[in-house]
Structure 1
Amino acid sequence: MKIIKSICFALLFLQSQRWYLLLFIFGSQHVDKLTEACSCALSHPQDAYCNSDIVIRAKVVGKKPLKDGPFGTMRYTVKQMKMYKGFNKIQHVQHIYTDASESLCGVKFDINKYQYLITGRVYDGKVYTGLCNFNERWERLSLAQKKGINHRYQLGCNCRIKPCHYLPCFVTSKNECLWTDMLSHFGYPGYQSRHYACIQQKEGYCSWYRGMTSRDKTTINTTDP
């Protein structure tokens, strides 16, 4: 019997107010293989910061599986060290919620080992995060990323970081910075991700910024990493 080439398609659905991407792979006549996988679009840390409700540095000190939803939820207890964003949403974060399954974008944290940078969204007074959010051990962040989280990224939330997957790439408006990490590093943690922020300059223009002191001496144009 002739085998029909497998067809992949994606089905988006909403579960507990969070979006997930389930990839279903079907063969001919019957389901040869069914996989569920978390699929995330590449994101610069600045975009992750700007698109998050909550950005904190915290140590994870406990976890508890919950039976919320059809697939379960993991509740992590955290000791918050510092909040960088989200004061208008919640005063102090004590718990972080994520899906129990990594295939549904659930993230796993080590307990009583590291301080983490955690980003997430707030729903009904609870903080949710997942693999598509920017979560990283604090000591693994570059100095530029730490400075970005402290103050620089917020200066560029009106800018647009435009991914470049194939050459040639061009900016199409004055508020864009061309992000080329995926050409050689497949996105994070590429050089621009680790060392640059896209900052709004005079007259609304945005450009990559790297410097440690004066912004004027360290800005570059929108097409140069």
Structure 2
Amino acid sequence: MASFLESPSAIIMRCCILVTMVHSLCACMCQPSHPQQRYCKANFVLTGHVLEKNPIDDIQLRGRFGQFEYVVNVDKIFKETENLRKSASRFPLSILTSPGDSLCGPKSLKIGSKYLITGSIVDGELHISSCDWIEEWRDVTQHQKKGIKHFYNAYCSQCTIQSTTGRWRQTGEGSSGGCIYDPSPSMVDGVEDCQALYATCITQQGEGCQWYHRGNDYQDCINRNKPYYQGVETMQSVSFPIMDDDVMT
């Protein structure tokens, strides 16, 4: 029997490994979020072309073992700080990320492609993770582009969005003045996320915050994906102001 007993140091080591594994697994459990939520929570929002992907070498580590640096030539900044504006005007930006999905790193970005990138600023450095909104610009819908440029930021302080599905529920958000976001049709059934693609949470003519869409894209999406959207909060159509640069490329 004695041969099967582990020493106290061995037991402690096993516990440390287990805690590390659990932490790694739990670290990247991102709450499902509408693009408007991701925009509002981000420290920066920009579009740019990816020029390089470089590992952080030993000299640069400073506690960031395994991270990568993306060098991005910025096309446009939609949400910024003063330091970010100055940096982007002088040279391509360095954006740091973890190495892979298990450590919160986003999927690898394609060199030469244009991306929408949202992220955080920590100690003056730009960081992105798998919980941020990072998507090839060509795949962002015109409704989302309009939100990025004109509407998301305008309603960050006015409207809250509550994400809720059978498995997830965000606490501390959502009220009579907010909107309910249900990503379950996309997460569970693999169909289009109509709310994320074609709806914006805004106020209209002094009313509370509600989901609005423009044109027929949202309803067409619902029709394509019936019956998965039964019971989803009703959308209201609104004529968003027309801008000269309404269509963004």
**TM-score in same-fold range (> 0.5):** yes
TM-score by length of 1: 0.72
Match of 2:179 in 1: 177
1:58 maps to 2:40:
no
Deviation at 1:200, TM superposition (A): 2.6
TM-score by length of 2: 0.65
Q: Are 1:174 and 1:204, in contact at CA under 8 Å, matched by a contact in 2?
A: no
1:191 and 1:89 mapped to 2: Cα distance? 36
**How many residue pairs get matched?**
184
Closer/same/farther in 2, CA of residues 138 and 164 from structure 1, 3 Å limit? same
**Counterpart of 2:151 in 1: which secondary structure?**
helix
Q: Are 1:36 and 1:103, in contact at CA under 8 Å, matched by a contact in 2?
A: no
Closer/same/farther in 2, CA of residues 127 and 36 from structure 1, 3 Å limit? same
Normalized per residue, which structure has more helix? 2
Normalized per residue, which structure has more strand? 1
Deviation at 1:84, TM superposition (A): 0.5
Match of 2:8 in 1: none
1:210 and 1:195 mapped to 2: Cα distance? 6
Q: Are 1:74 and 1:99, in contact at CA under 8 Å, matched by a contact in 2?
A: yes
More deviation, 103-112/187-196? 187-196
Match of 1:41 among 24, 27, 31: 31
Match of 1:201 in 2: 204
Match of 2:132 in 1: 133
Deviation at 1:101, TM superposition (A): 3.1
Q: Are 2:48 and 2:73, in contact at CA under 8 Å, matched by a contact in 1?
A: yes
2:195 and 2:208 mapped to 1: Cα distance? 18
Mark the structure with the bigger radius of gyration: 2
Closer/same/farther in 2, CA of residues 172 and 195 from structure 1, 3 Å limit? closer
Q: Are 1:196 and 1:209, in contact at CA under 8 Å, matched by a contact in 2?
A: yes
1:36 and 1:164 mapped to 2: Cα distance? 19
Alignment of 1:88-167 (within 5 A): 88-91=82-85, 92=88, 94-107=93-106, 108-112=108-112, 114-157=113-156, 158-166=158-166
Tell me the C-alpha RMSD between the 2 structures: 3.0
Which stretches in structure 2 are left out of the alignment for 5+ residues?
1-19, 216-231, 236-249
